[in-house]
Amino acid sequence: MTNLADNLTQTAEQHGDRPAIKLDDLVLTYSELQDGARRVAALLKSKGVGSGDRVGLVMPNVPPFPELFYGALAIGAVVVPMNPLLKGREVKYYLEDSGASIVFAWKDMAEEAGKGASEVGIECVEVGLDFAEVLGQHDPDEEVVDREDDDTVVLLYTSGTTGQPKGAELTHHSMSTNAATSAETLIELTEEDVVMGCLPLFHVFGLTCGLNASILKGSCLTLIPRFDAEKALEIVGRDHVTVFEGVPTMYAGLLHAESADKADMSSLRTCISGGSAMPVEVMKNFEKKFDCIVLEGYGLSETSPVASFNQPGQERKPGSIGTEVRGVEMKVVGDDDENVAQGEVGEIVIKGENVMKGYWGREEDTAEAIKDGWFHTGDLARIDEDGYFFIVDRKKDMIIRGGYNVYPREVEEALYEHESVAEVAVIGIPDDNLGEEVGAAVALKPGEEVSEEDLQAFAKERLAAYKYPRAVWIVDELPKGPTGKILRREVSAPEGRSK
Instruction: Give the three-class secondary structure for 272.
Output: strand
Architecture of the domain whose range is 6-380? 3-Layer(aba) Sandwich (3.40)
Q: How confident is the model at residue 499 (pLDDT cuts 50, 70, 90)?
A: very low
Q: How far apart are CA 348 and CA 331, in angstroms?
A: 6
The helices-and-strands tally (H runs, E runs) of the chain is 15, 26
Quote the percentage of the chain above a pLDDT of 90: 86
Burial environment of residue 34 by CB neighbours within 10 A (0 to 12, 13 to 18, 19 or more): buried
The mean pLDDT of 302-324, rounded to a whole number, is 95
Helix (H) / strand (E) element for 369: namely helix 363-369
Q: How confident is the model at residue 498 (pLDDT cuts 50, 70, 90)?
A: low
Q: Kindly report the CATH number that applies to the domain delimited by 398-490.
A: 3.30.300.30
Write down the pTM of the prediction.
0.87
Contact 137, 92 (CB under 8 A): no
Q: How far apart are CA 64 and CA 13, in angstroms?
A: 21
Higher-pLDDT residue of 231 and 399 is 231
Contact 44, 135 (CB under 8 A): no
Q: Phi and psi at residue 368, in whole multiples of 5°? A: -75, -35
Parallel, antiparallel, or unpaired: how do β-strands 399-401 and 404-406 relate? antiparallel
Parallel, antiparallel, or unpaired: how do β-strands 102-106 and 123-127 relate? parallel
Contact 186, 325 (CB under 8 A): yes
Domain regions of the chain by residue span: 6-380, 398-490
User: Both ends of the chain: CA-CA distance in Å?
Assistant: 61
Q: How far apart are CA 218 and CA 236, in angstroms?
A: 19
Report pLDDT digits (tens) over 189-205: 999 999 999 999 999 99
Q: Phi and psi at residue 168, in whole multiples of 5°? A: -75, 125
